[in-house]
């Protein structure tokens, strides 16, 4: 979650993660190498290895930062006293612009959704992947709570909450699959898109 005790990431580390996210998105995390990331960054491999002991660790930290981005922005918009539909709408209106602002990170995350077996990894990488799972669960649970609250008060249709949750998460991440920023994009494009998907998501539950 947005942890105020978490030390702020160095600009150098953030710059490497930005480059890695771009390269993993374009070439695929499986095929891309530390060399590819260094080349994209115009830096030596040594500079990357100074911060990240292996490609697996670099990939894990890209995924972790993807989760961090939304976990810093979305939980604060949930209000204990708001109606479930209003909370859900505000969560989605915050989630989508944040995901599109940090698109390469989320393109890398969806590569991991396709369920290909992970290669065996180091203890450090396994620890990072366990942390990713925790953050992903924390984020999902935020949505699960609002779905459950809506079913409990009757504003959402009674249904299997896990199926609804997974479907909802794919629906609000749909633009990660197809969205490409364009030079001539209308200023309101992302806002309009977010409103349309928030409308669809809330309506889908009612």
Q: For its own copies, which residue of 5, 163, 182, 187 counts as binding (CB under 8 A)?
A: 163
Per DSSP, helices labelled H in 28-83 are 34-41, 45-51, 55-73
Name the minimum Å distance from CB 70 to its own copies: 18
Size of the site for its own copies (CB under 8 A): 39
Name the minimum Å distance from CB 170 to its own copies: 4
Q: Are 70 and 98 in contact (CB under 8 A)?
A: yes
Rg of the chain (C-alpha set): 18
Name the minimum Å distance from CB 9 to its own copies: 26
Residue 69: closest CA among 16, 146, 17, 127: 17
Residues 23-52 that bind its own copies (CB under 8 A): 25-28, 30-31
CA–CA gap between residue 84 and residue 114 (Å, rounded): 31
Name the minimum Å distance from CB 168 to its own copies: 8
Q: Which stretch binds its own copies (CB under 8 A): 77-85, 120-128, 141-149, 174-182?
A: 174-182
Residue number with CB closer to its own copies (102 or 167): 167
Q: For its own copies, which residue of 56, 107, 125, 128 counts as binding (CB under 8 A)?
A: 107
The residue behind tokens 């100074």 is 50
Per DSSP, helices labelled H in the chain are 11-27, 34-41, 45-51, 55-73, 84-101, 103-113, 123-152, 161-172, 174-178, 189-205
Site residues, its own copies (CB under 8 A): 25-28, 30-31, 107, 110-111, 113-117, 157, 159-160, 163-164, 166-167, 170-171, 173-175, 177-178, 192-193, 196-197, 199-201, 203-206
């Amino acid at each position: 979650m947005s942890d105020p005790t978490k030390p702020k990431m160095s600009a150098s580390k953030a710059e490497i993660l930005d480059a890695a996210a771009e390269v993993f998105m374009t070439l695929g995390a499986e095929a891309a190498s530390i060399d590819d990331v260094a080349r994209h960054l115009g830096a030596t491999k040594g500079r990357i290895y100074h911060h990240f002991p292996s490609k697996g660790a670099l990939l894990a930290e890209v995924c972790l930062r993807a989760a961090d981005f939304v976990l810093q922005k979305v939980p604060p918009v949930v209000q204990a006293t708001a109606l479930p539909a209003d909370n859900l709408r505000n969560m989605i209106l915050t989630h989508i612009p944040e995901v599109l602002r940090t698109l390469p990170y989320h393109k890398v995350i969806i590569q991991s959704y396709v369920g290909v077996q992970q290669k065996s990894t180091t203890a450090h990488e396994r620890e990072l992947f366990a942390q990713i799972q925790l953050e992903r669960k924390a984020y999902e649970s935020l949505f699960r709570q609002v779905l459950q609250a809506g079913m409990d008060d009757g504003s959402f249709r009674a249904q299997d909450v896990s199926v609804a949750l997974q479907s909802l998460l794919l629906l609000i991440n749909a633009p990660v699959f197809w969205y490409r920023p364009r030079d001539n994009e209308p200023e309101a494009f992302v806002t309009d898109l977010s409103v349309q998907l928030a409308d669809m998501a809330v309506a889908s539950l009612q």
